[in-house]
Amino acid sequence: MQDLDNKESPINTDNSQDLEMMPSENFNEMRESNSEDSQLQTFLKLKEHGNSSRTRALRLKENDIVVAIDGVSYHDTIDNMVDLLSSGEEGDMWLLTIWRNGKFFEIFTRGPLGGIFEFTRPEESQMITDLFQKREMGQKDEYRIFEALRDVTRVVDVYDTSHSQVAVILPPVWLLQQKMWEPLLAILCVYLITFSVNIFLFILAAVLVGLYFRKGQVTLRRSYGMFQDRQVWAILAARSDLEAQEMCRNIDEKVNFVNALVKPYRKEVSKPRKKKKSGNVPKAITQYT
């Protein structure tokens, strides 16, 4: 027993001496590298919605993964994410990159998301990290909020929610651009009736209509989509109408669009197999003569 103890003690002593003789800078670098290797770069995955959580309003789904905030990969805890999304000025919005079913898309939000989150698995985290590094991200101020309304036949109406000055100055032109035929007809009737009665009444009506379109153009656009039996399906952040439609196609490859800028989805119809008639059955070769 004494021999074994004597043999083990020099080993421990040598290790301690090596650590003591190692420069502090090298030792710190080694410790940081070991901590980085041991720290897994995971993401936060939505496990379930909470009561009255913002995740429902943002149309997120269970198993959606928060990959990045303002284009920077996020690997921290849910508590720190809550503090980050609640920071800044009151009107500031944060751009979140979400991973769903193998595809990325962006949304704008502010404040706590709510819901219950969990960490992703190592292999899943590594795969998302590799794909996100290849993703082209634009500047935050280039993104706009788009709403997507979908009906039961998977026809989606995607529109920009940014304020349009055309809607305030020339409401009929804006309605014509949006192809909102019923409101366009109603506004033209108001203009025609008031103009036929009195020019000042026409000017008053034009001003009131412009003020309404200044504050309620997005509500009117959404209401018109619901009037066509469509429901709010997704709220996205994109740099153009084309990119917004492409994101919708990434979320659901079977959707088609109003004013489509992408190729329509065509369901592959399998050709029915031809049934052989009884007269076409080859005759069996007789085995016996």
What's the whole-number average pLDDT of the chain?
A: 82
- 28 within a domain of the structure (yes/no): no
Domain of 211?
145-257
Residue with tokens 């009906």: 151
Helices (H), the chain: 2-21, 24-38, 54-57, 78-86, 122-133, 165-169, 171-178, 181-197, 199-227, 241-251
The pLDDT of residue 287:
46
List, for residues 59-75, the tens digit of each pLDDT value.
899 999 999 999 999 99
Do 252 and 149 sit in the same domain of this protein?
yes
Domain tally, the chain: 2
- 266 within a domain of the structure (yes/no): no
Cβ atoms < 10 Å from Cβ of 67: 24
Do 182 and 137 sit in the same domain of this protein?
no
Q: How far is CA 74 from CA 117, 118, 187, in A?
A: 14, 14, 48
List, for residues 15-55, the tens digit of each pLDDT value.
444 434 444 444 344 444 444 443 458 999 999 998 878 89
Q: Return the SS3 of 155.
A: strand
Residue with tokens 């039961």: 152
Helices (H), 228-283: 241-251
The pLDDT of residue 285:
47
- 281 within a domain of the structure (yes/no): no
The domain spanning residue 49 has which CATH number? 2.30.42.10
The pLDDT of residue 226:
93
Higher pLDDT, 288 or 19: 288
- 165 within a domain of the structure (yes/no): yes
Residue 169 dihedral angles phi and psi, to the nearest 5° = -80, -45
Do 152 and 233 sit in the same domain of this protein?
yes
List, for residues 85-99, the tens digit of each pLDDT value.
988 787 789 999 999
- 4 within a domain of the structure (yes/no): no
- For the segment 227-245, the average pLDDT, to the nearest whole number, is 93
Show the CA angle centred on residue 93, arms to residues 110 and 142, nearest 5°.
150
- 112 within a domain of the structure (yes/no): yes
The pLDDT of residue 266:
75
* Residue 7 pLDDT > 90: no
The pLDDT of residue 65:
95
**At which of 98, 116, 142 does a domain end?**
142
Q: How far apart are CA 277 and CA 202, in angstroms?
A: 76
Q: How far apart are CA 8 and CA 181, in angstroms?
A: 89
The pLDDT of residue 88:
78
Q: What letter does residue 47 receive in the DSSP assignment? A: E
Do 108 and 149 sit in the same domain of this protein?
no
57: Cα separation from own chain's centroid: 13
The pLDDT of residue 36:
43
pTM over 0.85: no
Residue 151 dihedral angles phi and psi, to the nearest 5° = -105, -175
The pLDDT of residue 51:
80
- 22 within a domain of the structure (yes/no): no
